[in-house]
Structure 1
Amino acid sequence: MTIHYVRSWCIYICMLLVIAACNKEDQALRPENALAVADPSISSNADATIPVSWYQLQFRLIKETPGFTPPVAARALAYTGIALHEAVVWGDRNGHTLSGQLNALYNVPRPERGRRYNWAIAANSALSDITIRLYPNASPANLSLIRALDSTNLSAAGNGCDAAEISRSIQFGRQVAAAIYNWSATDGGKDGYLNSFPTDYVPPVGPAFWVPTPPAFQRALLPYWGNNRLMVRPRYPETAAIPHPPFATDTASSFYKAAYKVYEAVNTLTPEENTIALYWADGGGTFTPPGHLLAITAQLITEEGLDLIGAAKLFAQVGISVNDAGIVCWKYKYRYNLLRPVTYIRQYIDAGWSSLIATPPFPSYTSGHASFTGAAGNVLAGNFGSSYTFTDNQKVPEGFAPRSFNSFQQMIDEASISRVYGGIHYDFDSEVGAETGKAVALRVLSLRY
């Protein structure tokens, strides 16, 4: 990457930022935890551009950093949102720390009592630090972008602040990021990006079980991911599995009919169905399905003019939801190890058949797309309403037309069915995935932020 490109990136971020000068008027302390003096400029709509700028950079990092498959990307985006939330929540008189609410998260740093902080600077510092920590194998060019964005945002947010307040705010953001990262290192997924296809995993053998699929015939992706720690514990321990229809080859069976539906869907795709399949594909080299959902979140934050506190809350909620949805989904994938449609269809229906989209290297049940979108979509509905209408512009740079939705449920349904149109999931994969994603969302929304 040339110096010119780094400079161009900085100029672009500068255009997004509105300078938040330090207002020296006093503001009421947060009654529950009256620790720090909050800067009134925190309520400015412009403040949300700092976290949005960091998420935009992370979408690039996901695309370009080795090992950032969908579950790994979801994990990084979740810890980013939590670090952001914990760095600024103390500026919200009605806010609540997630310390003590999230699984095994305790003793997150608090600001010093009676000291003044610039929360935009604290947010920028936390986001810079956590990004560096979560993407340790980022390219030198992208590491340069991280440093440049940190400097650009600090210059904008710190204009008019005294040096002590700037330094204090930077240090607090770094302390929060370090605490969140140290907590993240104990969840079981810290090094997932380094070992996507562990060689010690041996899949079960049998007619109903997953086998590597064309064209790459790769080993199983992240087979142990379902063992990772959830961020939000279910209220009650899981007592029963959610089974798929029994495997069968009889043409009258539910399983055969589900496979034949995939076969027929791909063979008779309308132009609109073809577009839907490709629009939601978000495969290798993209910002992944979780990245797509967080990109929609960033877009809505900007369009709705959310302030820094509102953006931090929403980024945290959506991030936590896709992380936990990924863990739940991968737990089911490797509990059932169900074969993919392409395997079944070639064996029992049409030996020469191919899916529209290349089948990813892991078992079929449940659908990751449906799980991620079911979780994020229901969190967004919980914030904006079940009848909220919006247009997703995130794939325009890739040549797609914007897609408009009358509700988040419509988005969930479309993303879920897209995998059937693509030929890589049975409809029950998507239906159950969307439901388990919704269950995750309800747990996330039950927390206090």
Structure 2
Amino acid sequence: MKSPFVFTAGLVLLLAACSQPSEPIEIMAEQLHASTDRLTEVMVHDIFSPPVASRVYAYPSIAAYEIMALHNDSYRSLQGQVSGLEGIPKPSAESPVNYRLAAVIAHMDLGRRLIFSEEKVTDFRDSLYGVWEKRNPKEFEASRTYGLEVAEFIAAWMKGDNYDQTRTMSKFTVDTDDPSRWQPTPPSYMEGIEPHWNKIRPFVIDSAAQFKPSPPPPFDMKEGSDFYKEVKEVYDISNDITERGDTSEEVAIAQFWDCNPYVSVTRGHLMFATKKISPGAHWMGITKIACRDTGSDFDKTTYAYAKAAIAMADAFISCWDEKYRSNLIRPETLINEYIDDSWKPVLQTPPFPEYTSGHSVVSGAAAVALTDIFGEDFAFDDDTELKYGLPVRSFTSFRQAADEAAISRMYGGIHYRKAVEVGVKQGRDLGAFVIANLRMEEKAAPVAALSESQNK
């Protein structure tokens, strides 16, 4: 039988431990970086298309931003600034909500809803929940309740963006009678992805066609025509690069910015996909680098992710609108038919029409958004692709990085010059419109659109 003294002493110690005040839950920018990184990892695993990936980044980023802006007077809500968004619910004044914690919880919950492998986000979330709950149960529960309430609110708004409707629309029909029209390419000959993405509700731009670019040169495979020159230029550049070997700078640039989640590898009778990030994922990685390099706190980091994600989401809507309007055939198809039937591009051709270059448009828009936040001459080392076996590349500005991302498509043999040059301008024009029409910083003066000379 245990001594009453031992029992009493143990009870006293237990009550003393329970009566000790809980520690405040400190949320830093790293928690938001980790949540965004987990979304990227899951999307790479699940093989999300680039347009869909941009949507996955946008809504969680907006949810986190809206909660943060409600608590920080230096930032303005996106209510009335992005299409259809109303003010988020507010917690009761008595509730001990930790706004930063609620923002991360909302980010994780919306991210979980938008991917396939939910358990990968759920496991990550639960590991954090355990730490937070142990540190301060009351603060955690209040913050979780509020974060999930906002996530539910943003999810209801998200439902109105036509995404679900596009899942039931017809597949893209290949026009085999018109030699200028896009055709599936080797090795997997996938059908055209997301042909109805222009029907997704934009965030800031007025419509998918608002930044409709100038058309590509008229299709004409006669030697000497403007279009033939574009095709031949891709072929000549590719041959020059491959003759100099895989160690050439152009090959390094092409591989660094490949960002094609659909790369297929054939071995014997087997075909499998290699894991790569999307263009949007690469630029969200650059956003993380910029935030870390500047020591940005949680609030500024939330702001940066939201602005970059919104610009890129609208850029994909704009670009995909043009892709399936012009429906232009890829270099690989024409070079094999008219010039060299054994030619292969440095990069694998992605499964959608050529014009304009998606990476060029999205990179142009992302670079404008990040320049608006971090400045024109922001030098950084881009280690985004390290985990995929590619070395660090250094840039003197976001604009330089966007220009390199754009030209990488020609080096890779998957785009013509006009798709690259017009594409990056399309993205920059769109990005300038987004930052001019999103007043996210309360004390900031309205941002003027880029001049025409800057867009060239």
Shared fold (TM-score greater than 0.5)? yes
How many angstroms apart in 2 are the aligned matches of 1:406 and 1:93? Answer: 32
**Aligned equivalent of 1:5:** none
SS in 1 for 2:394: strand
Q: Indicate if the aligned counterparts of 1:184 and 1:190 stay in contact, CA closer than 8 A.
A: no
How many angstroms apart in 2 are the aligned matches of 1:347 and 1:21? Answer: 69
**Aligned equivalent of 1:423:** 413
Question: What pairs with 1:276-425 in structure 2 (closer than 5 Å)?
Answer: 276-284=253-261, 285-425=275-415
Q: Say whether residues 1:80 and 2:70 are aligned partners.
A: no
SS in 1 for 2:285: helix
How many angstroms apart in 2 are the aligned matches of 1:294 and 1:288? Answer: 10
Question: What pairs with 1:169-208 in structure 2 (closer than 5 Å)?
Answer: 169-190=143-164, 200-204=171-175, 205-208=177-180
Q: Quickly say closer, same or farther: Cα 1:241–1:400, change in 2 above 3 A.
A: closer
Q: Which has the larger radius of gyration?
A: 2
Q: Say whether residues 1:246 and 2:198 are aligned partners.
A: no
1:167 Cα deviation after fit:
2.6
Q: Indicate if the aligned counterparts of 2:257 and 2:405 stay in contact, CA closer than 8 A.
A: yes
Q: Which amino acid aligns with 1:362?
A: F
SS in 2 for 1:51: helix
How many angstroms apart in 2 are the aligned matches of 1:392 and 1:421? Answer: 19
Q: Which amino acid aligns with 2:31?
A: I
How many angstroms apart in 1 are the aligned matches of 2:323 and 2:211? Answer: 18
Q: Say whether residues 1:146 and 2:125 are aligned partners.
A: yes
1:222 Cα deviation after fit:
0.9
Q: Indicate if the aligned counterparts of 1:100 and 1:106 stay in contact, CA closer than 8 A.
A: yes
Q: Say whether residues 1:58 and 2:58 are aligned partners.
A: no
Q: Indicate if the aligned counterparts of 1:62 and 1:286 stay in contact, CA closer than 8 A.
A: no
1:404 Cα deviation after fit:
0.3
**Aligned equivalent of 1:259:** 231
How many angstroms apart in 1 are the aligned matches of 2:129 and 2:376? Answer: 36
1:21 Cα deviation after fit:
5.5
Q: Which amino acid aligns with 1:61?
A: V
Q: Which amino acid aligns with 1:278?
A: Q
SS in 1 for 2:163: coil
Q: Quickly say closer, same or farther: Cα 1:55–1:411, change in 2 above 3 A.
A: same
**Aligned equivalent of 1:32:** none
1:127 Cα deviation after fit:
1.6
How many angstroms apart in 1 are the aligned matches of 2:94 and 2:81? Answer: 25
Q: Which runs of 5+ in 1 are unaligned?
A: 1-19, 24-40
**Aligned equivalent of 1:37:** none
Q: Which amino acid aligns with 1:91?
A: H
How many angstroms apart in 2 are the aligned matches of 1:298 and 1:231? Answer: 22
How many angstroms apart in 1 are the aligned matches of 2:230 and 2:128? Answer: 49
Q: Say whether residues 1:437 and 2:427 are aligned partners.
A: yes
1:334 Cα deviation after fit:
0.2
How many angstroms apart in 2 are the aligned matches of 1:389 and 1:184? Answer: 35
1:186 Cα deviation after fit:
1.6
Q: 1:71 aligns with which of 51, 55, 59?
A: 51
1:142 Cα deviation after fit:
4.9
1:214 Cα deviation after fit:
1.4
Aligned residue pairs total: 399
Q: Say whether residues 1:272 and 2:252 are aligned partners.
A: no
Q: Quickly say closer, same or farther: Cα 1:142–1:239, change in 2 above 3 A.
A: closer
How many angstroms apart in 2 are the aligned matches of 1:233 and 1:414? Answer: 26
1:421 Cα deviation after fit:
0.7
Q: Quickly say closer, same or farther: Cα 1:222–1:119, change in 2 above 3 A.
A: same
How many angstroms apart in 2 are the aligned matches of 1:408 and 1:231? Answer: 23
How many angstroms apart in 1 are the aligned matches of 2:357 and 2:130? Answer: 40
SS in 1 for 2:161: coil
SS in 2 for 1:320: helix
Q: Indicate if the aligned counterparts of 1:187 and 1:229 stay in contact, CA closer than 8 A.
A: yes
For 1:311-355, what per-residue CA distance to the aligned partner results, in whole angstroms no more than 9, with x for missing partners? 111000011111111111110000010000111212222222111
Q: Which amino acid aligns with 1:410?
A: Q
Q: Which amino acid aligns with 2:108?
A: S
Q: Indicate if the aligned counterparts of 1:80 and 1:127 stay in contact, CA closer than 8 A.
A: yes
How many angstroms apart in 2 are the aligned matches of 1:448 and 1:265? Answer: 43
Q: Indicate if the aligned counterparts of 1:118 and 1:169 stay in contact, CA closer than 8 A.
A: yes
How many angstroms apart in 1 are the aligned matches of 2:156 and 2:334? Answer: 44
How many angstroms apart in 2 are the aligned matches of 1:422 and 1:239? Answer: 26
For 1:9-37, what per-residue CA distance to the aligned partner results, in whole angstroms no more than 9, with x for missing partners? xxxxxxxxxxx9549xxxxxxxxxxxxxx
Q: Quickly say closer, same or farther: Cα 1:83–1:239, change in 2 above 3 A.
A: closer
For 1:151-202, what per-residue CA distance to the aligned partner results, in whole angstroms no more than 9, with x for missing partners? 44x35xx84x571x4332222211111111111122122477x78xx76432
SS in 1 for 2:406: helix
**Aligned equivalent of 1:26:** none
**Aligned equivalent of 1:448:** 439
How many angstroms apart in 2 are the aligned matches of 1:129 and 1:237? Answer: 32
How many angstroms apart in 1 are the aligned matches of 2:211 and 2:368? Answer: 24
Question: What TM-score comes out, normalization by structure 2 length?
Answer: 0.82
Question: What pairs with 1:203-214 in structure 2 (closer than 5 Å)?
Answer: 203-204=174-175, 205-214=177-186
